[in-house]
Amino acid sequence: MLTSLQNEQVKYVVNLHKRKFREETGEFLIEGWRFVEEGVLRGANLTKVFVCPERYNDVWPQLEEALKEKEVPVIEVEERVLRKMSDTENPQGILAIVRQEKWSWKDIRIAQASKNLQDQDPQDLPVLLILDGIQDPGNCGTILRTALAAGVTQVCLTEGTVDLYNLKALRSTMGTIFSLKILTNCQPEEILSFCQEHKITVYTGDIQGTDLYETDVSMPLALVVGNEGNGPSEAFRGPGVNRITIPMSHGVESLNVAMATGIILYELRRKES
């Protein structure tokens, strides 16, 4: 059991709260029983788990067995040590170190109909989701969770978007991050080039666009959701990008970006079906 706040493993975990250290090590933290359980179920590459015996709950016996099967080291820690390692004021009792997945453009495969790809679920939408300059970690995580629920499994984050491994963003994903292929630090130009090469039509949400419900969309497609205050980058405002809008009543000008993304994705799912 870890009892010292000066232990090197404790210091390592504390350093993982810093983005630079996460980038250098290629690892990040997840916290909480539900999150660690989701990581195991969804095949996350957990490298080490820290648990406080004083905070054991009903899920621990099964979770412990699953970790043993995957040969993930489990280390017990005192409660005060867990508090030092945790990002929350009242930690649940468990946290884990996870290795970051490294995806490339070769991993992104969008077919006219996702059922044509043997390695994809037939329920998947042939949609590439692009988060362009999203700043709020809660919005980022909620969008990713909503995307997977709608059947979108492939995502690009442009350079300048909030850190994917920010703990608030991670918590908002509720573990769905482990079922997504996510490219980070992408340039808008390379995204547009990829879409052009693979005949993927690009759409972006814009209050000046055509009515979402009256637009005949062309699949496969890429959906760009832009920065909360400024909208999408200039590169995504060109003539090769189609603009769509959610009709609104009573003088409401805009919606939260996560809410708007959910509405658009589920309408695309309806259109596809």
Q: What is the CATH number of the domain that holds 16?
A: 3.30.1330.30
For residues 69 and 161, membership in a common domain is answered with no
pLDDT at position 121: 66
Phi, psi torsion values for 76, nearest 5 degrees: -80, 145
For residues 161 and 27, membership in a common domain is answered with no
For residues 142 and 209, membership in a common domain is answered with yes
How far is CA 271 from each of CA 50, 91, 113, 117, 262, rounded to the nearest angstrom? 45, 43, 13, 20, 14
pLDDT in tens, 82-121: 999 998 888 999 999 999 999 999 999 986 544 555 555 6
> Beta strands 221-226 and 241-245: pairing type?
unpaired
Kindly state whether residue 261 falls inside one of the protein's structural domains. yes
- Could you give the CA distance from residue 222 to residue 129 in angstroms, rounded to a whole number? 6
Q: Quick check: 207 pLDDT over 90?
A: no
| Structural domain that includes position 45 | 8-99
Assess contact for 93 and 82: CB atoms under 8 A: yes
Q: Which of 81-90, 114-123, 190-199, 203-212 is predicted least confidently?
A: 114-123
Phi, psi torsion values for 85, nearest 5 degrees: -80, -25
Number of domains in the chain: 2
pLDDT at position 113: 47
pLDDT at position 114: 46
Collapsed DSSP state (helix, strand, coil) of residue 259: helix
Kindly state whether residue 34 falls inside one of the protein's structural domains. yes
Collapsed DSSP state (helix, strand, coil) of residue 195: helix
Assess contact for 145 and 169: CB atoms under 8 A: no
For residues 78 and 155, membership in a common domain is answered with no
Q: How confident is the model at residue 243 (pLDDT cuts 50, 70, 90)?
A: very high
